[in-house]
């Protein structure tokens, strides 16, 4: 498991906390619109920092930071992830985990052992369009299991979807709403072009259409909002 990036301070990645964000290399998805594809898109991604250096940084930042956001790639791809989180928790930090939901058995262990304080799970698209959107095969039942696991847990969580006009349409969001029915929080994120994305000619939805997507979801979740709109 490689540490391929570290944002030393963030006020945005972990709601309600001053945190750092650690990027772990490797992902089992191949999303064409992934912002981190060049950095952590493969297990061969370049390691930026040794584990000892990272934990030395956390030791020094005690009392300044109160949380660590773990992202990727897909953190749950790695067999060492549980021990990695335990070590962070043992230093007194709260932990937020980003996941694509394809490893429900590991997510369940992490939640049942109270190793995370917040989980953000990406909902890539409707179940029928999942493989088209992520660029590879996936066990769709695993995605559903992770959704249900979070909805029925007692930890803080959010679902989120990055909306790309080439892969999503307005009606998809009623279907997604039904998929995550009863969820506490769901964020729609507007795709924005960055040089790091794998496919360069993708396009964003208009703000008006994004608002229509939001309206489609509203009947099914407690709270829904738009993110990353200029």
Residue 1 has a pLDDT of 87
- Residue 71: the pLDDT is 96
Put residue 127 in one of left, alpha, beta given phi > 0 → left and psi -120 to 50 → alpha. Answer: alpha
Smallest CA-to-CA distance from 159 within 227, 91, 230, 64 is with 227
Q: Return the pLDDT at 41.
A: 52
pLDDT confidence of residue 196: 80
- Rounded CA-CA distance 200/193 in Å is 8
Other CB atoms within 10 A of residue 220 CB: 19
Contact 121/84 with Cβ under 8 angstroms? no
Please tell me whether the overall predicted TM-score, pTM, comes out greater than 0.85 for this model.
yes
Structure tokens at 142: 């695993």
Residue 198: its pLDDT value, please? 83
Helix, strand, coil percent values for the chain (each to nearest 5): 35, 25, 45
| Integer angstrom CA distances of residue 75 from 8, 40, 146, 149 | 18, 11, 14, 17
Kindly give the confidence (pLDDT) of every residue in the chain, 230 residues in length, as a single tens digit, with 9 standing for 90 and above. 889 899 999 999 999 999 999 999 889 999 999 988 765 555 556 678 999 999 999 999 999 999 999 999 899 999 999 999 999 999 999 999 999 999 999 999 999 999 999 999 999 999 999 999 999 999 999 999 999 999 999 999 999 999 999 999 999 999 999 999 999 999 999 998 888 888 889 999 999 999 999 999 999 999 999 986 44
Residue 181, both tokens: 């029915």
């Amino acid at each position: 498991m490689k540490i391929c990036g570290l944002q030393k301070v963030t006020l945005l990645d972990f709601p309600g906390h001053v945190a750092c964000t650690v990027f772990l290399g490797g992902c089992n998805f191949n999303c064409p619109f992934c912002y981190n594809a060049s950095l952590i898109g493969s297990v061969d991604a370049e390691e930026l920092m040794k584990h000892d250096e990272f934990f030395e940084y956390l030791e020094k930042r005690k009392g300044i930071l109160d949380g660590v956001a773990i992202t990727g790639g897909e953190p749950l791809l790695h067999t060492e992830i549980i021990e990695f989180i335990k070590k962070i928790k043992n230093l007194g930090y709260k932990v937020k985990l980003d996941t694509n939901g394809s490893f429900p058995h590991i997510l369940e262990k992490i939640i049942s052992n109270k190793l995370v304080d917040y989980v953000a799970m990406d909902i890539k698209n409707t179940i029928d369009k999942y493989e088209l959107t992520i660029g590879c095969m996936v066990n769709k039942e695993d995605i559903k299991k992770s959704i249900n696991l979070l909805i029925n847990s007692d930890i803080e969580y959010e679902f989120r979807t990055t909306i790309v006009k080439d892969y999503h349409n307005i009606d998809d969001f009623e279907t997604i709403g039904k998929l995550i029915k009863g969820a506490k929080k769901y964020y729609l994120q507007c795709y924005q072009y960055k040089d790091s994305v794998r496919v360069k000619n993708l396009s964003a939805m208009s703000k008006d259409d994004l608002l229509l997507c939001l309206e489609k979801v509203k009947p099914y979740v407690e709270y829904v909002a738009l993110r990353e709109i200029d």
